[in-house]
A and B are shown apart, each in its own frame.
Chain A
Amino acid sequence: MNDQPRDADDPIEPAAPQHASGPPDSGQAPTIVHAPEVTEVQVAAPAAPTDDRQVEVEDPWGSAFRRIMGGNLVMAVLAIITSLIVGGILIAATDERVQETSGYFFARPGDMLAAVWDAVGGAYWALFQGSVLNVSRADAGFAQLIKPLTDTLNFATPLIAAGLGVAIAFRVGLFNIGGRGQMLWAAAAAGWVGFSFTLPPVLHVLVAIAVGIVAGAIWGGIAGAFKAYTGAHEVIVTIMLNFVALWFITWMLRTPGLLQNPGSNNPISPAMPPSAVLPSIFGPPFILHWGFVLSVLAVVFCSWLINRSNLGFQFRAVGYNANAALNAGMDVKRITVLAMVFAGGFMGLAGAQQVTGAVTTGFTSGIDAGIGFDAITVALLGGSTPWGTFFAGLLFGAFKAGGFRMQAAEGVPIDIILVVQSMIVLFIAAPPLVRAMFGLPQPGRKSRRQVRDEAKIAAAAQQKGAQS
């Protein structure tokens, strides 16, 4: 890290941390005795800004990660609200009634406003009913009322697993854009185990998923190896590997004897036998399957891995400052490969969940369903923390579940979800923009009075230092 003045807009580290009061979360009493003859701190204070200005040399990834991970809940909520508003504008603008009534807006503005309300309100009400509580069918029993909630969890299942695959790579300073390829390999491997072998029910599905995870991990590890041993940028490598995987799996799916369903001419695999399908947790009418529990377990494991394990300690050290990690004896190359192995493994879980839970009637090369890219938005919204990813996955799962109902009931194309989702991430990544839109004060940009007071304090401290 540098001890230079921080960017005024930086929401994470406001200027002059030396003068900040103790961190709110530090449970222990301060153990440092500030001796009165202290010169060090005061001498150091003005030392900060005078260094050579190598701000642009500083690793940009590092600061991006800090910014991403420092994004707090308020920012997330504001970003979501803003994006929903933009989505509402799009829905209203493309609504036929709104277009008709806008023709005579100045004659009867109420018509258009009512039309806007109908269109946007209707769409978002459908979104809510499709994802949380189906109020319109409340009289059909509790099961029907809460079924949308379980649908949300169902859609969230692979999003969470895949989100972890992006998040863990982020923590090591790597962008895993290779979710698509990793999921495809995992789906192919898990699917192959599923329809080619006969095993006892529970074991079969577990073996299939395990093999899928391994396949995803290998494909991720290949990307990691490219990065570690040739220095190729992982963004490019993972993007290219996505397409290699796509065409390879497509070829296997249309080649008899490999993955193609015998007797079919289409590039589609055989259906999964019942023993290789993740069973529903609550039984019909709920479709929520045990894959969700696996995703929760994955979150718990990932949380331990990143925050508590010594491997995670190395992961984060490499992510923040690979040079320091190298000097501390960490094998940065091995860590890079391992990180991508784990990232691919989580992606693999998502891919395996797709074939053993979501699409069990035979899969195509579209089995990833864009989840590999959705995962990026999930991880970013979740601040690249395991539990953040979990909740972000739930939110986007809700969008998906509700989006289908919105499309069916209100005729709003589900693609609007993609728009809202990506806008959320853009806003999350740029807190100053959101603050400006909502007229919130920018942290670090202080009022004049604040600046003056702090300057006085600093000057007094300096004087004290100079006297001793």
Chain B
Amino acid sequence: MTLEHPTLALRGITKRFGALTANDHIDLEVRAGEIHCLLGENGAGKSTLMNVLYGLYQADEGEIVLDGEVQRFAGPGDAMRAGIGMVHQHFMLIPVFTVAENVLLGHERALGGLGGAREKVREISQRFGFHIDPDARIEDLPVGVQQRVEIIKALSQDAKVLVFDEPTAVLTPQETDELMAIMQQLRDEGTAIVFITHKLREVRAIADRITVIRLGKVVGEASPDSSSTELASMMVGRPVELTVQKQPPVLTDNRLQVSNLTVLDAIGQKVVNDVSFTVQGGEVLCIAGVQGNGQTELTEAILGLQHRATGSIDLNGNELLGDSVREVLDAGVGFVPEDRKVDGLVGEYSIAENLMLDRYRGEPFVRGGTIDRAARDDFAREKLSAFDIRAQSIETPVGTLSGGNQQKVVLARELGRPLALFVASQPTRGLDVGSIEFVHSQIIATRDAGIPVIVVSTELDEVVGLADRIAVMYRGGIVGIVPADTSRDTLGLMMAGERPAGLRTADPVKGAAA
């Protein structure tokens, strides 16, 4: 199916942000009828490159060639007219608009008004077997369906080249399979597809060609037959240990017991539905599941951030449900929120101030209502070296640090006081491999100190690597709690809400040794 000339060719694309070179002379060719994977770590420059291609950024050097013609994209409108479509990682849909209105926006004349847009939605839906009501409001649709609207939006413009930017992050394994089927169908119809991801498994499943980029540069092409280890080391630039080193768990008497926990959202949906589990000191319970199945609300309920919660959260005989966040923290709960920039740190505050962010009352940092700067700074200096936080000084605003260093600040703070429970939500999201390894080692060290640890992660690799037991969440409920050596296929099915027959369950007393 491969044609002679590439449909799309990027030649020497360079994009700088101040002193940072996000893309350094990147070459990329995509042919009609092939799926070209762009593989790279978080922050390798994939999204920047695609934003250049889509006209959202202007390249400092290099050219974009489409069907042999050099293009000048002043904005996304030009890129679209030239035949480039994009399925964005964060959907570019207006929540209060209907499906048809979203498809219509920007192409009012070409589509011939709302009626034409409705017709287009129906026509494309039929082609791919989607069941999408053109008059449904986006905010009422599930995430998977919203993504299909994004695809329809791109296809309604007769895209020759379709870019999928990290499209599977929000999907269940089954939805992911479906998306891949759609991508294959598009490929077979002659569309050139760029698939951006950092997930090795998906790359190997679907790619016709693989280009790996690292630190803004192309490091080479890889064969789709490459092993995961080979791809990972290409991506990172050194051999990567894909497993986490840890000893068998030594359980202690510390214990978190969550019973019949139910959390309602503002419109009364049970975002956490009758959840019960126990975590024993010295073990890591990983909560697996696709983003948005209640994990966020579960951890927030433990922290005291959810007010419509019923049931019981018992930490060493101390009922946490109904307590304020302050009381929960004082009970010895360490918490790493899933979005460190939004929930974990005050970007404008210095490292030192962020390290005392949740200890603003009483000793050791406050005396007589006044902050003891000497005590604060001593603590900060100690943590800076202990956690290997790379910064100019303790006065550096946290917002200027890299993601890895920001996460280290959060960890240093949360692990810097006596703990009875440690909860980490998506602790390695968006981090480079070096930082990921550091975070993992800290989590295991905390577990080995006899503290109950809960890790929420949507990355199956991380779950399998860290967990002593795995709880899988789906639609607010726990599908099952299984041993760490449960097969990925089984976990995948559970993430879609199924309980395979003969499922082994794991309880804390036996631990992961089961």
Contacts and interface: CB of A to CB of B under 8 A. Distances in A.
Task: Report A-B touching, CB under 8 Å.
Answer: yes
B357 A331 contact: no
Contact of B346 (A14, A53, A320, A329): A320
B392 A19 contact: no
Interface in B294-309: 303, 305
A17 B44 contact: no
B19 A1 contact: no
A26 B393 contact: yes
The bracket for how many chain B residues form the interface is: 35 or more
Contact of B371 (A38, A308, A446): A308
Query: Residue among B326, B335, B381, B399 with the most chain A CB within 10 A?
Result: B399
Contacts of B385: 31-33
A1 B370 contact: no
Contact of B401 (A3, A15, A444, A462): A3
A81 interface: no
B324 interface: yes
B28 interface: no
A23 B393 contact: yes
A310 B341 contact: no
Contacts of B1: none
Given A28-B393, A317-B357, A320-B347, A16 B20 contact: yes
Contacts, number: 231
A47 B42 contact: yes
A50 B22 contact: yes
A1 B399 contact: yes
A38 B390 CA distance: 9
Interface in A291-341: 304, 308-311, 313-314, 316-317, 320-321, 323-331
A49 B369 contact: no
A135 interface: no
Contact of B90 (A46, A52, A324, A451): A52
Contact of A458 (B21, B335, B399): B21
B399 A329 contact: no
Nearest to A328: B358
B45 interface: yes
B55 to A, nearest CB: 13
B395 A325 contact: no
A40 to B, nearest CB: 5
Interface stretch (B139-147, B278-286, B427-435, B492-500): B427-435
Interface in A19-59: 19-20, 22-23, 25-26, 28, 30-34, 38-41, 43-54
B400 A1 contact: yes
Contacts of B392: 20, 22-23, 26, 30, 32
A63 to B, nearest CB: 10
A466 interface: yes
B16 interface: yes
Interface in B359-398: 360-361, 365-366, 369-371, 381, 384-385, 388-398
B17 A43 contact: no
Contacts of A324: 342-346, 357
A30 B384 CA distance: 11
A18 interface: yes
Contacts of B45: 46, 49-50
Given A32-B390, A324-B342, A455-B21, A309 B370 contact: yes
A160 B399 CA distance: 32
A244 interface: no
Contacts of B511: none
A314 B402 contact: no
Contacts of A97: none
Contacts of B404: 40, 43-44
A330 B43 contact: no
B160 interface: no
Query: Residue among B56, B214, B360, B385 with the most chain A CB within 10 A?
Result: B360
A48 B324 CA distance: 35
B18 interface: yes
Query: Residue among B22, B328, B361, B392 with the most chain A CB within 10 A?
Result: B392
Contact of B357 (A25, A328, A455): A328
B43 A31 contact: no
A23 B371 contact: no
A444 to B, nearest CB: 8
Interface stretch (B46-54, B117-125, B187-195, B464-472): B46-54
A70 to B, nearest CB: 10
B347 A321 contact: yes
Contacts of B347: 1-2, 320-321
Contact of B215 (A33, A34, A46): A46
Contact of B402 (A22, A44, A451, A458): A44
Query: Residue among B303, B341, B397 with the most chain A CB within 10 A?
Result: B341
A458 B353 contact: no
A310 B371 contact: yes
B171 interface: no
A85 interface: no
Contacts of B237: 466
A313 B43 contact: no
Contacts of A326: 305, 325, 343
A462 B371 CA distance: 40
A10 to B, nearest CB: 11
Contact of B393 (A3, A22, A54, A330): A22
Nearest to B382: A31
B56 A455 contact: no
A392 B282 CA distance: 58
Contacts of B366: 310
Query: Residue among A13, A52, A308, A446 with the most chain B CB within 10 A?
Result: A52
B216 interface: yes
A419 interface: no
A335 to B, nearest CB: 11
A66 interface: yes
A385 to B, nearest CB: 14
A105 B369 CA distance: 67
A457 interface: yes
A44 B344 contact: no
Contacts of B390: 32, 34, 38, 40-41, 44
Given A48-B17, A320-B347, A327-B344, A53 B403 contact: no
Contact of A50 (B46, B337, B400, B406): B46
B348 interface: yes
Contacts of B403: 3, 44, 47
A454 interface: yes
A289 to B, nearest CB: 31
Given A26-B393, A47-B402, A310 B16 contact: no
B405 interface: yes
Given A50-B44, A326-B325, A31 B371 contact: no
B434 A43 contact: yes
A326 B324 CA distance: 10
B348 A1 contact: yes
A465 interface: yes
A202 B218 CA distance: 79
B349 interface: yes
Contacts of A40: 388, 390, 402, 404-405, 432, 434-435
The 5 closest A-B pairs by CB, nearest first: A1-B347, A1-B399, A44-B402, A15-B18, A47-B43
12 contacts: A1-B399, A17-B397, A18-B400, A19-B19, A31-B394, A45-B20, A46-B215, A321-B347, A324-B357, A325-B346, A451-B19, A466-B237
Given A32-B390, A50-B44, 16 more contacts: A1-B399, A16-B17, A30-B393, A40-B390, A40-B405, A40-B434, A47-B403, A50-B22, A51-B43, A310-B361, A310-B369, A313-B360, A327-B337, A327-B343, A329-B325, A458-B20
